[in-house]
Structure 1
């Protein structure tokens, strides 16, 4: 009962999930993103960038709609550095105030798939758009570029890159690169490529290195994720 599609704003993805049965537990893998989420039970929430998998519990009948903002975009939408949201799920009211969110609540509940993207787009316009550095660093990290080379590419020394990355992504470029490499490896493995070949293609030393890295970040080995 999970679906996603392009949201039409800043490269974001709009996802929906409905739980018609009993309590459901799912594993959400880290991806460098920040999500604006509406829950039919919990209201408006913000899911910060995770360093490891987050175990989500959905109640019977609960409906979720989320706007997944690409790495580096969240701070411009929410008005806080990403590292203040790292590994956290917080009510939107904690960031924008009770009255501001109360004024939004009825409108969002009536049509969250339309209102969440519109809300993010308006916040981005007011902020002058996302920090352009975020897209450059994220693209390089997703391509597996070494951190020193990323720093040189964006004309920052490594310490400055680390500081800016924490504000944009919630963690430094090394962690972002590691997370995005895991995502790339799992996407490739899901096409049927053997794990040993996936490891070589994605820059791991060997299959054992891939397995250790996935276990550290996802909490389970890649075979468990692929089976699920």
Structure 2
């Protein structure tokens, strides 16, 4: 079972999930432009930004996470996003082991691990520099389907400067982020019952074949199969 709610950390989502034992089917985690702080009993991890579908595996049982708003996690976690692209990393690889042990024990012993993990993120965010407001503007502009070159001009950046800042914040360049956000827009429409042809047009794809290619590349399976998994 999966549940989520809005976090007290701006733009973030807190979630929990119970993974079944080995041999049970688990749906893929799709690229969304975000990074997550993860907990499962005895462990804290970071899920870096994905460029392809990630299929959870390994340790069954209860998990909790906080999914940061796109571009905000590096400032909180203290690591550039591109260093964690397509990776799941133990938090002890990034923060002092003694500190991570204390935090892990705190979440392990909490009545509600979701709330305890959220408190960890909130405390860390209070001590961190605030995220660059330009990044939120970039996400909003890309999510509206506007061209990367035009956005760079409006933000007063060269294409190279924008790419460098996007790598640090999102783990990949703005064109990849635009594809990921477009995929998420399309899935939201299709899951609301919009036909795939209309979804392609409304989400900003050239046509339905373009949508099919992007879904297959980013999600690892055809669109109709992906939609059935939900």
Following superposition of structure 1 onto structure 2, how do residues 124-203 of structure 1 map, counting pairs within 5 Å? Answer: 124-203=125-204
* TM-score (normalised: structure 2): 0.94
Following superposition of structure 1 onto structure 2, how do residues 3-152 of structure 1 map, counting pairs within 5 Å? Answer: 3-19=3-19, 22-24=22-24, 25-40=26-41, 43-57=43-57, 59-60=59-60, 62-111=61-110, 112-152=113-153
Misfit runs of 4+, over 4 Å:
20-23
Q: Is the 8 A contact 2:35 2:67 kept in 1?
A: yes
Q: Is the 8 A contact 1:34 1:46 kept in 2?
A: yes
> Per-residue CA shift, 1:85-131, capped at 9, x if unaligned?
11000000100021110121211112221222222122222123212
Q: Is the 8 A contact 2:76 2:129 kept in 1?
A: no
SS in structure 2 opposite 1:63? strand
Q: Is the 8 A contact 1:23 1:57 kept in 2?
A: no
Mapped to 1, the partners of 2:135 and 2:95 lie a distance apart of 23
Map of 2:223 onto structure 1: 222
> Per-residue CA shift, 1:165-193, capped at 9, x if unaligned?
00000000000000000000010011111
Range with greater deviation from structure 2 (160-169 or 196-205):
196-205
SS in structure 1 opposite 2:56? strand
Mapped to 2, the partners of 1:110 and 1:147 lie a distance apart of 46
Q: Is the 8 A contact 1:18 1:63 kept in 2?
A: yes
Mapped to 2, the partners of 1:139 and 1:161 lie a distance apart of 15
Q: Is the 8 A contact 2:14 2:64 kept in 1?
A: yes
SS in structure 2 opposite 1:57? coil
Q: Give, in angstroms, the shift of residue 163 of structure 1.
A: 0.3
* TM-score (normalised: structure 1): 0.95
Name structure 1 gaps, 5 residues minimum: none
> Per-residue CA shift, 1:8-61, capped at 9, x if unaligned?
112100010013555443300000100000012x6100000000111111544x
Q: Is the 8 A contact 1:124 1:130 kept in 2?
A: no
Q: Is the 8 A contact 1:26 1:57 kept in 2?
A: no
Name structure 2 gaps, 5 residues minimum: none
Mapped to 1, the partners of 2:19 and 2:10 lie a distance apart of 28
Q: Give, in angstroms, the shift of residue 5 of structure 1.
A: 0.6
